[in-house]
Amino acid sequence: MAWAKKILRVNLTDGSIASEPLNMEWAQAYLGQRGLATRYLVEEVDPKCDPLGADNKVIMATGPLTGTMASTGGRYSVITKSPLTGTVACSNSGGFIGAEMKMAGWDMIIFEGKAASPVYLHVENDNAKLLPADQLWGKSVWETDELIHKIHQDPQIRIACIGRAAEAGCLYSAVINDLHRAAGRSGVGAVLASKNLKAVAVRGTLGVGNIKDPKRFMQSTGEQKQVLAENAVTGQGLPAFGTQVLMNVINEIGAMPTRNMREVKFEGAHKISAEAMAEPRKSDSKPNLTTNAGCFACTIACGRISTIDKGHFSVENKPQYWGNSGGLEYEAAWALGSDTGIDDLDALTYANFLCNEDGFDPISFGATVAAAMEMFEQGVITTEDTGGIEFKFGSAEALCKAAEITAAGEGFGKDLGMGSKRMCEKYGRPELSMTVKGQEFPAYDPRGIQGMGLTYATSNRGACHLRSYTVASEVLGIPEKTDPLATEGKPGLVKAFQDATAAFDSSGLCIFTSFAWTLDNVAPQLDASCEGDWTAERLVEVGERIWNLERDFNNKAGFTAKDDTLPKRFFTEPANTGPAEGKVSGVEQMLPEYYDLRGWTPDGEVTTQTRDRLDLPS
């Protein structure tokens, strides 16, 4: 009974706000958060709708373990139809607002319609109000956070909001909560902007109670925390180095996409790695990394809190950037650094700060800058297009400037804000966009880690590492080591990861626990807290159901098997060095087996049998 069993429905068109009971039948089938909110989206939103139109809806959803003492139990997701990809979007975030929503007594908030003028939602337990946000429109995330705290004079309010990037139409704009945690991918921020919804401010003091078997729950969560503490990745690697622990590892195995993914190894990786972040700098002998930080209830604490060197050109005369804020995670460091060929740690940190400050996804942004750099190198675009910025690979100045104009939606920043697919199409070079279904790649080369190629091709929200992180198996040996260069067995591996991940993402827990936990570790925590019997087997089934539900939504939106592919580069330009030298992606060989394992037609459609087996809605 860890669910609050209540949904807050906010109609932005007519300003009405209603409380309704959570559909517990669906909760038993789809668990919560990603799965359950997608079930609502499928029920209520036409897959063919304009993602930025009033017909789209956006759902902020928690899982049953959100707000409890289960380690990492503070997650929430933003579920909507993505304006970047046209697929279902589900962006997961930590921080504190998810737990705060639950403390206020809500499993989900569903936003529908479109407000006539800017508004923000203020929730204080049962009391929810739409308030005018005219004075907040045009403000950054950080300014908005400060202003809302000031308006309500309550330091405990948790805030999720959009920045200027979303307002300017950036298609990979994010919803940022707690200043620097992000529901980052797929442009969920742009959907809020399209609805004139600037922010959601929550204060919850009711707490989360009604745990089914409190004693067993406390014992189980305690045991599972111990498992995290004793695991080398979750107990040592992530707290000490963050996800940046991967920078040198991935670079060493020649799977570090570099300079718009032309290459697989970055010579400057050691300058932007976790180790570099811990190195005292010359100017003030402080390291880039101040401390690690945990999201709500997280006993891993991989978060980075960093500063920029005050003397760095990017912040020289800008004291507002001299304090601590959210530092580089691996994907951001890769996209802003390796993919652009930039090895200036302070420039990367600055660009990352701006991504948080104005709410846009550093992965898509960095990858789009990388595409612009390749076009610039080839003379497709010039300083005339870019407003004078020399988009050269390796140029820290170009990156910082690009971040500033994308944040503000000015000049060439408008093009950058389209994402690389639309930008490259605009300049006639679609093949230079490193995207799947319109979403930019993350930090693992599909030639060097073959399973990730299939992960990207089949991800329900476009290229993404967080839908089936087979890196765990192919590189780190979790739960067992597979050969990253092999394609054999990968369809099954990808499917297993996809289904398990969908269950993790629907529980309220963080996927990073899966470095140490399997669903066998999650199930007892759910079983002790939620009504119903929860086993690992049932969670796999729930995960598979969710995966198919998402796929079905995408199919109905018009996606077919031909969209399950990678950019040409990965089939025609073999890896240039390292263990994968000479290899291209084997996605096309893996797909038929994958579809078969999924119970889909060769065209990637969910079959009737599969639909019936999983009891999917028609």
Partner 1 sequence: MHHVIIGAGPAGVVAAEHLRKLDANCRISLIGDEPEPPYSRMALPYLLIDKIDEAGTYLRKSDGHYDRIGVEVRNDLVVSVSTSDRQLMLGGGGKVDYDKLLIATGARPTKPPIAGTDLAGVHSCWTLADARQIAEHTKPGAKVILMGAGFIGCIILEALASRGVELTVIEMEDRMVPRMMNHSSAGLIKSWCERKGVSVLTSMRVAAIQQDTGAHPLSVQLEGGASHPADLVICATGVAPNTELLQGTGITIDQGVLVNEHLQTSDANVFAAGDVAQGKDFSTGEYSVQAIQPTAVEHGRVAATNMASGHDMVHAGCINMNVLDTMGLVSASFGAWEGVANGESAELNDPGNYRYLNLQFEDDVLVGANSLGLTQHVGVLRGLIQSRFHLGHWKDKLLNNPTQIMEAYMAAAQGIGKA
Partner 2 sequence: MLKSLHISPDKCTGCLQCELACSYENEGVFNPAKSRIKVFTFHQEGRFVPYTCTQCDEAWCMQACPVDAIVVNTATGSKDVLADVCVGCKVCTIACPFGTVNYSQDTGKVIKCDLCGGNPQCVEACPTAAITYVDADATGLDRMRAWAGKTDNAATARA
Binding mask 59-98 toward partner 2 (x if CB under 8 A, else -) reads --------xxx-x------------------------x--
412 binds, among partner 2, partner 1, none (CB under 5 to 8 A by kind): none
**How near is the Cβ of 129 to partner 2 at its closest, in Å?**
20
In angstroms, give the least distance from the CB of 140 to partner 2: 15
Q: Which distant-in-sequence residues (6+ apart) come within 8 Å of 525 by Cβ? A: 65, 70, 217, 220, 221, 224
Nearest CB to partner 2, comparing residues 291 and 560 = 291
Q: What is the Cα–Cα distance from 261 to 578, expressed in whole angstroms?
A: 14
**Residues in 120-179 that interact with partner 2 by CB under 8 A:** 156, 179
CA-to-CA separations, 69 to 2, 51, 587, 608, in angstroms, rounded: 11, 36, 40, 40
What 3-state class would DSSP assign to 62? Answer: strand
Give the containing element (helix H, strand E) for 191: helix 188-194
Distances in Å between the alpha carbon of 558 and those of 47, 239, 334, 609?
8, 42, 32, 21
Options 56-64, 144-152, 246-254, 610-618: segment touching partner 1 (CB under 8 A): 144-152
149 binds, among partner 1, partner 2, none (CB under 5 to 8 A by kind): partner 1
CB atoms within 10 A of CB 103: 22
We find the least distance from the C-beta atom of residue 209 to partner 1, in angstroms, to be 20
Residues 486-525 that bind partner 1 (CB under 8 A): none
- Residue 477 makes CB contacts below 8 A (sequence gap 6+) with none
* Binds 131: which of partner 1, partner 2, none (CB < 5-8 Å by kind): none
In Å, how far are 174, 222, 328, 358, 360 from 180, measured between CA atoms?
A: 11, 28, 11, 10, 11
Closest approach of partner 2 to the CB of residue 299, in Å: 4
CB of 513 to partner 2, least distance (A): 13
* Minimum separation from the CB atom of position 400 to partner 2 (A): 22
Does residue number 150 form part of the binding site for partner 1 (CB under 8 A)? yes
Question: Pick from partner 1, partner 2, none: which does 165 bind, CB < 5 to 8 A by kind?
Answer: none
Rounded to 5°, angle at Cα 182 from 177 and 183: 105
How many residues comprise the chain?
Answer: 618
Q: How big is the site for partner 2, counted in residues (CB under 8 A)? A: 38
* Stretch near partner 1 under the rule CB under 8 A, chosen from 92-100, 145-153, 347-355, 473-481: 145-153
Residues 6+ apart with CB under 8 A from 136: 118, 120, 143, 144, 147, 148, 161, 198, 199
If one counts every other C-beta atom within 10 angstroms of the C-beta of residue 373, the result is 27
C-alpha 13/C-alpha 54 separation (Å) is: 8
Please list every residue from 376 through 405 that binds partner 2, using CB under 8 A.
Answer: none
Q: Which is nearer to partner 1, 288 or 439 (CB)?
A: 288
- 362 contact, one of partner 2, partner 1, none, CB 5-8 Å limit per kind: none
Contact 72, 295 (CB under 8 A): yes
Span near partner 1 by CB under 8 A; candidates 153-161, 437-445, 452-460, 575-583:
153-161
Q: Does 149 bind partner 1 (CB under 8 A)?
A: yes
Interface with partner 1, residue 153, by CB under 8 A? yes
Using rule CB under 8 A, residue 323 touches partner 2 = yes
CA 474 to chain centre: 21
Q: Which two tokens stand for residue 553?
A: 């939504």
Collapsed DSSP state (helix, strand, coil) of residue 189: helix
Task: Name which of 248 and 292 has its Cβ closer to partner 2.
Answer: 292
- Neighbouring CB atoms inside 10 A of 534's CB total 25
Phi/psi for 29 (5° steps) reads -90, -30
Q: 31 with 63: CB under 8 angstroms?
A: yes
Contact region for partner 1 (CB under 8 A) — 57-65, 71-79, 147-155, 271-279?
Answer: 147-155
Give the count of beta carbons closer than 10 Å to the beta carbon of residue 210.
13
When the beta carbons of 190 and 202 are compared against partner 1, the nearer one is 202
| Cα of 557 vs its chain's centroid, Å | 21
- Choose from partner 1, partner 2, none: what does 153 bind? Cβ within 5-8 Å by kind: partner 1
CB of 128 vs partner 2, minimal distance in Å: 18
Q: Which of 35, 83, 237, 303 binds partner 2 (CB under 8 A)?
A: 303
Q: Does 290 participate in binding partner 2 (rule CB under 8 A)?
A: yes
Query: Burial, 20: exposed, middle or buried (Cβ in 10 Å; 0-12, 13-18, 19+)?
Result: exposed
In the chain, what is the greatest distance between 2 CA atoms, to the nearest angstrom? Answer: 67
Q: Which of 291, 382, 383, 608 binds partner 2 (CB under 8 A)?
A: 291
Shortest Å distance, C-beta 150 to partner 1: 6
Residue 203 host element (H or E): strand 197-203
β pairing state of 119-124 and 197-203: parallel
Q: Does 154 bind partner 1 (CB under 8 A)?
A: yes
Question: Angle CA(547)–CA(550)–CA(555) in degrees, nearest 5?
Answer: 120
Residue 293 CB, shortest distance to partner 1, in Å, is: 16
- In the bound complex, what is the minimum distance in angstroms from residue 135's beta carbon to partner 1? 16
Residue 369 phi, psi dihedral angles, 5° rounding: -60, -40
| Residue 486 interface partner, choices partner 1, partner 2, none, CB cut-off 5-8 Å depending on type | none
Contacts 24+ apart (CB under 8 A), 20-24: 22/107, 22/108
Q: Which is nearer to partner 2, 181 or 312 (CB)?
A: 181
Q: Which entry of partner 2, partner 1, none binds 285, CB below 5 to 8 A by partner kind?
A: none
Instruction: Give, as ranges, the residues between 196 and 255 that touch partner 2 (CB under 8 A).
Output: 204-209, 214, 218, 222, 225, 229, 239
301 binds partner 2 (CB under 8 A): yes
Judged by CB under 8 A, does residue 298 bind partner 2?
Answer: yes
Q: Closest CB to partner 1 among 14 and 154?
A: 154
C-alpha gyration radius of the chain: 22
Least CB distance to partner 1 at residue 155 (A): 5
Considering beta carbons, is residue 325 or 521 the nearer one to partner 2?
325
Measured between its terminal Cα atoms, the distance across the chain in Å is 28
Q: Which residues bind partner 1 (CB under 8 A)?
A: 149-150, 152-155
User: What are the residues binding partner 2 (CB under 8 A)?
Assistant: 67-69, 71, 96, 103, 156, 179, 204-209, 214, 218, 222, 225, 229, 239, 290-299, 301, 303, 305-307, 323-325
